[in-house]
Amino acid sequence: MNWNPPKRNGETKPMIAIIDYDAGNIKSVENALLALGIDNTVTSDPEVIRAADRVILPGVGAFGDAMGKLAERNLIGVIREVSQTKPFLGICLGLQLLFESSEEAPGVSGLSLLPGKIVRIPEGGGRKIPHIGWNDLHFPKESKLFRDVPGESYVYFVHSYYLQAGDPADVAATTEYGATIHAAVEHGNLCACQFHPEKSGDVGMQILKNFAAF
């Protein structure tokens, strides 16, 4: 899939802004998009984020630390703004931050863009935490994000906490790991994955293509 970015004021501008807030995992997202021929820029500049046509919020690490870094870089307001008007994709920790709260950081508010909470994967049953590895997806509804992705496709997870969405209608994919994990959401132009599409082979590449076509 090749991408011809639009020209504004005679200059070519990237289509997708990847938000940089010092939470890791950015290079792999950037490289996956470039492999698909999709222009992008890594930025923490609110004006660049506003000018982009699509936005990705990646991330690995701790919920509380990440919210602190977003605040330090004055990114909370612009994320809330663009998530209402542009195609927006959260990845891994970037999914968790879109919700109201996390057991990982009691008392720290998330972005609250969608109703729901982040809870710890339950112990027991021989499960290893963090959950690291490949799990299959199940799709409770049709969604743009998973167009042309077969049911029970495998994707790559790295996480100790997972989403319990407040509205079942937002859930676009689930997986099982000691609980029914809401592995992806889609609500209008806003979508997110707990897993890493950029590390999930051809399936993940198809998901990123789908997002680029929103």
Distance between CA atoms of residues 97 and 64, nearest Å: 9
Cβ–Cβ under 8 Å, residues 138 and 151: yes
Q: Is 196 one of the catalytic residues?
A: yes
Whether the CA torsion 120, 166, 69, 175 is positive or negative: it is positive
Catalytic site residue from 131, 159, 182, 196: 196
Q: Is 182 one of the catalytic residues?
A: no
Residue with tokens 């927006």: 88
Q: Is 131 one of the catalytic residues?
A: no
Residue 203 identity: V
Query: What single-letter DSSP state applies at residue 72?
Result: H
Give the Cβ contact number of residue 71 at 10 Å.
12
Catalytic site residue from 30, 92, 104, 182: 92
CA atoms within 13 A on the CB side of 132: 4
Quick one: 10 exposed, middle or buried, by C-beta within 10 A (0-12, 13-18, 19+)? Answer: exposed
Distance between CA atoms of residues 40 and 110, nearest Å: 26
Catalytic site residue from 30, 104, 186, 198: 198
- Catalytic positions: 92, 196, 198
